[in-house]
Amino acid sequence: MSDTPATPSDPSRCPLCGGDNRCAMEIERDTGQPQPACWCVSQAFPPALLERLPPQAQGMACICARCVAAAAAGGGA
């Protein structure tokens, strides 16, 4: 995992930590290979985590599972 957040133009990177977000839609777009439903469809995203997204990153890239798990556990991201 990187310590530097991704630029909003990189949809394969978490906008909070810069790590690989494993977005199934981006993997399919990059590889042309059909993917199962993305891991995020079964996750609850804490509102406080979503509020941390910079405005320019909102709707541009998915938050990674690690940041979601850390926020859910009360540890931030």
pLDDT digits (tens, 9 = 90+) for 37-73: 988 888 888 899 999 988 888 888 889 999 999 998 8
Q: How far is CA 19 from each of CA 27, 30, 43, 45, rounded to the nearest angstrom?
A: 14, 17, 18, 17
pLDDT interval class at 6 (50, 70, 90): very low
Question: How many Cβ atoms are within 10 Å of 2's Cβ, its own excluded?
Answer: 11
- Considering its fold, how many domains does the chain have in total? 1
The per-residue pLDDT for 8 is 54
pTM of the full predicted structure? 0.74
List the domain range (segments joined by +) for residue 19.
1-77
State the DSSP H helix or E strand holding residue 50, giving kind and residue range, or none if neither.
helix 47-51
Contact 71, 49 (CB under 8 A): yes
The per-residue pLDDT for 2 is 45
